[in-house]
Structure 1
Amino acid sequence: MAVILGIDDLRPLPRATRIARTSREGVQLLEEHRDSFIDELWLDHDLGGEDTIMPVVTLMEEAAFNGRPFQIGAVFVHSANPIGAETVVRSLARWGYRVRRATA
């Protein structure tokens, strides 16, 4: 069965097998899948209030920097915030993740 994770404060993401609604939950979700393959990871930039996806992006960047990037088939960034989305795409692509903009 495919592992499809989503981190989004509002969208239902019907294909996702698990959804986190805050950056803290998102970090925890990724940590739980640290040593397994994630087929798809769906990221929203703005997570309500002051919360954003950036703590999750930082975790992924640090993992790659330390030579242990998360094993993810594809990362999809689906955000209504074009500047935030582009920041996420650029940051993750720089560390070798297969990432692109998408619509959820």
Structure 2
Amino acid sequence: MSYADLRELRSALTTASDIAFSLDAAPSEPETELLTDALRRALAAAGSLTAERGATGCPEHPRGAVDPLYGDPEDPLPPGYGRCLLCNDRRRRASAQRRGWR
């Protein structure tokens, strides 16, 4: 979650609240469309807060690159490796150093 995501959520909720409190008993179609748009924007912003793991599924690099070898049946990743290219690269380097390669 970034500050920009949180700011977008707050802005959308404030807009929706302002529209909702200014409605009459029988709101017009443009008013309901404005409210619906503001609520959709708020829902999308709230969804971005929970989608922190991103495509990698990695808490450390949520917006990192996905390892191109992930899911490759011809060249599978070793057990314990995930989708995160950065974490997998770190594991590969550590494994190579343990074997004495540089």
TM-score where L is the length of structure 1: 0.23
Say which structure is richer in strand.
1
Say which structure is richer in helix.
2
TM-score where L is the length of structure 2: 0.23
- Max Rg structure: 2
